[in-house]
Amino acid sequence: MPVLEGKELRIVGFLCNWCSYGGADTAGVGRFNQPTDLRIIKVPCSGRIDPLFVVKALMNGADGVLVSGCHPRDCHYAEGNFYARRRLEIMHKFLPILGYEPGRFEYTWVSASEGQRWQQVVTSFTEQIHKLGPAPKIVGPEASDTLSLMQAAL
Amino acid sequence: MKIGVFVCHCGSNIEATVDTAAVAAAAREFPGVVFATDTMYTCSEPGQDEIVDAIKEHNLGGVVVASCTPRMHEQTFRRTVERAGLNKYLFEMANIREHVSWIGKDREANTNKSVDLVRMATEKLLRNRALHPKKFTINKRVLIIGGGVAGIQAALDCADGGLEVVMVEKTSTIGGKMAKLDKTFPTVDCSSCILGPRMVDVAQHPNITLYAYSEIEEIKGYVGNFEIKVKKKATYVDWKNCTGCGICMEKCPSKKATDTFNEEIGKTTAINIPFPQAIPKKAKIDPAFCTMLKKGKCGICAKVCPSGCIDYEMKDEFITEKVGAIVTATGFDLFDWTVYGEYGGGRYPDVITSLQYERMLSASGPTGGHIKRPSDGKEPKNVVFIQCVGSRDKSVGRPYCTGFCCMYTAKQAILTKDHLPQSQSYVFYMDIRATGKLYDEFTRRAMEEYDTNYIRGRVSMIYPKGDKLLVRGADTLMGTQVEVDADLVVLAVGAESSAGASELAEKLRISYDSYGFYMEGHPKLKPVETNTAGVYLAGACQGPKDIPSSVGQGSAAAAKVLGLFSKDQLESDPQVSIVDIKRCIGCGKCIQTCPFGAIKEIDFRGMVKADVIETICQGCGICTSTCPQGAVQLQHATDNQILSEVNALCQF
Ligand SMILES: Cc1cc2nc3c(=O)[nH]c(=O)nc-3n(C[C@H](O)[C@H](O)[C@H](O)COP(=O)(O)OP(=O)(O)OC[C@H]3O[C@@H](n4cnc5c(N)ncnc54)[C@H](O)[C@@H]3O)c2cc1C
Ligand code: SF4
Ligand code: SF4
**Could you tell me the CA-to-CA distances from B335 to B389, B393, B396, B499 in Å, in that order?**
8, 12, 10, 11
Mean pLDDT estimate for chain B? 96
Percent of chain A with pLDDT over 70: 88
Q: Nearest C-alpha to atom 30 of ligand 1 is from which residue?
A: B331
Determine, for residues A34 and B104 on separate chains, whether the beta-carbon distance falls below 8 Å.
yes
Residue partners of B606: CB distance under 8 A and separation at least 6 = none
C-alpha distance from A8 to closest chain B C-alpha (Å)? 9
pLDDT at A137: 75
d(Cα B175, Cα A54) in Å, to the nearest integer?
52
Whether residue B280 has a cis bond before it, omega within 30° of 0: yes
User: In this structure, what CATH number is given to the domain that contains residue B361?
Assistant: 3.50.50.60
Q: Does a structural domain hold residue B133?
A: no
Q: Is residue B212 located within the same domain as residue B276? A: no
3-state SS assignment for residue B407: helix
In a domain, B643, yes or no: no
Q: Kindly state whether residue B108 falls inside one of the protein's structural domains.
A: yes
| Domain final residue, candidates B476, B496, B516 | B496
Low-confidence ranges of chain B (pLDDT < 50): none
Residues A38, A10: Cα–Cα separation, whole Å = 7
CA B536, B539, B545, B550 torsion-angle sign: positive
Whether residues B25 and B87 share a domain: the answer is yes
pLDDT given at position B579: 97
CB A69 within 8 A of CB A75: yes
| Whether residues B347 and B393 fall in one domain | yes
Domain that holds residue B272: 247-304
Nearest by CB: A48 against B115, B637, B651: B637
Judged against a pLDDT cut of 70, whether residue A141 lies above it is answered with: no
C-alpha torsion sign, points B188, B190, B195, B201: negative
Shared-domain flag, residues B433 and B523: no
Distance between CA B198 and CA B227 in Å, rounded? Answer: 28
Residue after which a domain boundary falls, among B442, B468, B496? B496
Interval A92-128: pLDDT, tens: 888 888 889 999 999 999 999 999 999 999 999 999 9
Q: Give me the residues of A, 9-38, that contact B with CB < 8 A.
A: 10, 12, 18-19, 21-22, 24-25, 27-29, 31-36
Q: Are A142 and A56 in contact (CB under 8 A)?
A: no
Residue A93: other Cβ atoms inside 10 A: 9
Q: Which of B95, B112, B519 sits opposite A1 (nearest CB)?
A: B112
- B323 and B352 both lie in a single domain: no
Residue B17 domain-assigned?
Answer: yes
Whether pLDDT at A145 is above 80:
no
Same domain for B344 and B469, yes or no, is yes
The 10s digit of each residue's pLDDT in A14-61 is 999 999 999 999 999 999 999 999 999 999 999 999 999 999 999 888
Q: Given this model, what pLDDT does residue B621 score?
A: 96
Select the more confidently predicted residue: A147 or A67: A67
Residues B393 and B481 placed together within one structural domain of the fold: yes
Residues B115 and B18 in one domain: yes
Domain annotation covers residue B570: no
Query: Could you tell me if residue B310 is inside a domain?
Result: no
Q: What is the CA radius of gyration of chain A?
A: 15
Q: Please report whether residue B179 resides in a domain.
A: yes
What chain B residue is nearest to A154 in terms of C-alpha separation? Answer: B628
Per-residue pLDDT at A1: 46
Write down the pLDDT at residue A154: 56
Q: Does B116 touch chain A (CB under 8 A)?
A: yes
Q: What is the CATH number of the domain that holds B68?
A: 3.40.50
Q: Does ipTM exceed 0.90?
A: yes
What does the alpha-carbon distance between residue A152 and residue B106 come to, in Å, rounded to a whole number?
A: 43
Whether residue B322 sits in one domain with residue B198: yes
Q: Give CA–CA dist B444/B447, Å, rounded.
A: 5
Are B325 and B179 in a shared domain?
A: yes
85-144 of A, contacting B, C-beta below 8 A: 87, 111-114, 119
Q: Do B43 and B121 sit in the same domain of this protein?
A: yes
The C-alpha atoms of residue A46 and residue A66 are separated, in whole angstroms, by 11
The pLDDT tens digits of the residues spanning B207-263 come to 999 999 999 999 998 899 999 999 999 999 999 999 999 999 999 999 999 999 999
Which of B517, B542, B564 is at the close of a domain? B564
A/B interface, count of CB pairs below 8 Å: 163
Question: DSSP secondary structure string, B155-200?
Answer: HHHHHHTT-EEEEE-SSSSS-GGGGG-SEETTTTEEHHHHHHHHHH
Listed residue (B613, B596, B620, B599) closest to B221, CA to CA: B596
Angle, vertex CA B8, rays to CA B7 and CA B13, nearest 5 = 135
Beta-strand ranges (E) seen in B430-568 are: 453-456, 459-465, 468-475, 480-486, 488-493, 495-497, 535-537
Of A42, A47, A74, the CB nearest to B625: A47
Q: Which residue of B has its CA nearest to A73?
A: B506
Please tell me whether residues B327 and B190 are part of one structural domain: yes
Q: Phi and psi of B304, rounded to 5°?
A: -90, -20
What's the residue count for chain B? 652
| Complete domains list, chain A, with CATH | 2-153 (3.40.50)
Phi, psi of B388 (to 5 degrees): 55, 50
**3-class DSSP assignment, residue B139:** coil
Determine, yes or no, domain membership for B238.
no
What pLDDT does B360 receive? 97
CB B24 within 8 A of CB B38: yes
Looking at the structure of chain B, the number of domains it has is 5
